[in-house]
Amino acid sequence: MTSADAATDGRAAALLAHTRTAVTPGLRAAVDSLPGRLGRVAAYHFGWEHPDGSPAEGPPGKAIRPALVLAAARALGGDPAPAVRAAVAVELVHNFTLLHDDILDQDATRRNRPTAWAVFGTADALIAGDAVLALAARLLAEDDHPAAPAASARLAACVMELCAGQQADCAFEERAPDAITLDECLTMATAKTGALLGCSCALGALCAGADPAEVAALDAFGREAGLAFQLIDDLIGIWGDPERTGKPAGADLVARKKSLPVVAALTSGTPAAAELAALYARPVLDEPAVRRAAGLVERAGGRAWAQEQAADRMGRAVHQLSVAVPDLEAAGDLLALAEFVTRRTR
């Protein structure tokens, strides 16, 4: 990491800490308003309680989406205070997706703790997810900020896109690896990862009274940065994290995930693609097979493609940001957050 990177990361870390301080009281009050058992399930999921309801200090969520809301409001010259409610709403929507995705993927752990469904059962976790989504909608509907109806509509549309992304992701699991096009894969990643980052920026802009063109540019900024993040995360899922302890190298290959670099390789029409498809058709991949698969993704051009795409998407993100916020000083926080998310798992 260069010293410039370290400075950016320091700025982002400070922003995230500041955001958690600003947003957590509203988030906890909202979750406390959930009826009975559903409040318990949600408080556990957020890391504030143990399964028995006693207080816990679990690792808090990073609050990247709320930080984008507040930073976007500030970048457009708005007071971030009225944007706090929107920041709470996007964090609720993010956690609604986590509650349901963990059920669908049968993931048993999240942030080093058993997932909500693993502790409370599928029914309670599913219903708690529904209630958390309704809570987000309610928060914005009860807001008397002039931008609240537009923010509500945008967040609801974003949830529909998140659902489409999750559905596509689940469907990919069932399909032959070489039957998925790169376009489908990019659309899925944009819907699943980019949409809520874009919506967070757009909601902040709306709270600052931005005009439609500025709102659209900030949405595009968040989406492109989100896609850059996903591409880099996918590269790490194959080649590991050179700087931090995180995902082990090859984790996505062991799970035979149809990630972006893999689909780029499989659809390359190269001899390596055919060899990779044959490997992916095996029921289990052992250690040497995983190493071979990583080499095939690289030879088929999947690694280079993903690296170029990630850089290209970050370039587009920065361009979109410069359209809406020409002043580099004002745009600084959003840039730092975008650079942080694309580097955070490295």
Shortest separation between residue 334's beta carbon and a copy of itself, angstroms: 25
What does each C-alpha distance from 97 to 51, 119, 129, 300 come to in angstroms? 20, 17, 7, 34
Question: Strand, helix or coil at 109?
Answer: strand
Residues 72-91 interacting with a copy of itself (rule: CB under 8 A): none
Helix, strand and coil content of the chain, in percent to the nearest 5, comes to 75, 0, 25
Q: For the residues of 272-320, what is the DSSP string, one character each?
A: HHHHHHHHHTSS---HHHHHHHHHHHHHTTHHHHHHHHHHHHHHHHHHH
Shortest separation between residue 206's beta carbon and a copy of itself, angstroms: 12
Q: Which stretch binds a copy of itself (CB under 8 A): 156-164, 222-230, 291-299, 301-309?
A: 156-164
179 forms part of the interface with a copy of itself (CB under 8 A): no
Query: How many residues form the binding site for a copy of itself (CB under 8 A)?
Result: 42
Give 93's strand partners.
Answer: none
- 148, 140 Cβ separation under 8 angstroms: yes
Please enumerate, as own/partner, the contacts of 325-332 that have beta carbons within 8 Å and a separation of 24 or more. Answer: 325/75, 325/76, 330/74, 330/75, 330/76, 330/77, 331/75, 332/11
100 forms part of the interface with a copy of itself (CB under 8 A): yes
Q: For the residues of 45-56, what is the DSSP string, one character each?
A: HTTSB-TTS-B-
Q: Which listed residue (22, 67, 73, 159) binds a copy of itself by CB under 8 A? A: 159
119 forms part of the interface with a copy of itself (CB under 8 A): no
Say how far apart CA 62 and CA 68 lie, in whole Å.
11
Q: Which listed residue (20, 28, 62, 138) binds a copy of itself by CB under 8 A? A: 138
215 forms part of the interface with a copy of itself (CB under 8 A): no
Shortest separation between residue 3's beta carbon and a copy of itself, angstroms: 44
Q: Which stretch binds a copy of itself (CB under 8 A): 95-103, 276-284, 302-310, 327-335?
A: 95-103
Question: Residue 148 or residue 335: which is nearer to a copy of itself going by CB?
Answer: 148
Shortest separation between residue 203's beta carbon and a copy of itself, angstroms: 12
Strand ranges, E, within the chain? 109-110, 113-114
Question: Residue 37 or residue 319: which is nearer to a copy of itself going by CB?
Answer: 37
Say how far apart CA 27 and CA 63 lie, in whole Å.
11
Shortest separation between residue 298's beta carbon and a copy of itself, angstroms: 32
Number of neighbouring beta carbons within 10 Å of residue 249: 17
Q: Which listed residue (14, 123, 255, 328) binds a copy of itself by CB under 8 A? A: 123
Q: Which listed residue (119, 127, 216, 249) binds a copy of itself by CB under 8 A? A: 127
Say how far apart CA 233 and CA 229 lie, in whole Å.
6
> Residues 270-297, buried b or exposed e (16+ Cβ, 10 A)?
bebbebbbebbeeeebeeebbebbbebb
Question: Residue 12 or residue 155: which is nearer to a copy of itself going by CB?
Answer: 155
Shortest separation between residue 315's beta carbon and a copy of itself, angstroms: 28
Shortest separation between residue 196's beta carbon and a copy of itself, angstroms: 12
Say how far apart CA 50 and CA 231 lie, in whole Å.
35
Q: Which stretch binds a copy of itself (CB under 8 A): 117-125, 204-212, 221-229, 317-325?
A: 117-125
166 forms part of the interface with a copy of itself (CB under 8 A): yes
Question: Residue 34 or residue 262: which is nearer to a copy of itself going by CB?
Answer: 34
Q: Which residues are at the interface with a copy of itself (CB under 8 A)?
A: 34-38, 96, 100, 103-104, 122-124, 126-131, 133-135, 137-138, 140-142, 148-149, 152-153, 156-157, 159-161, 163-164, 166-168, 170-171
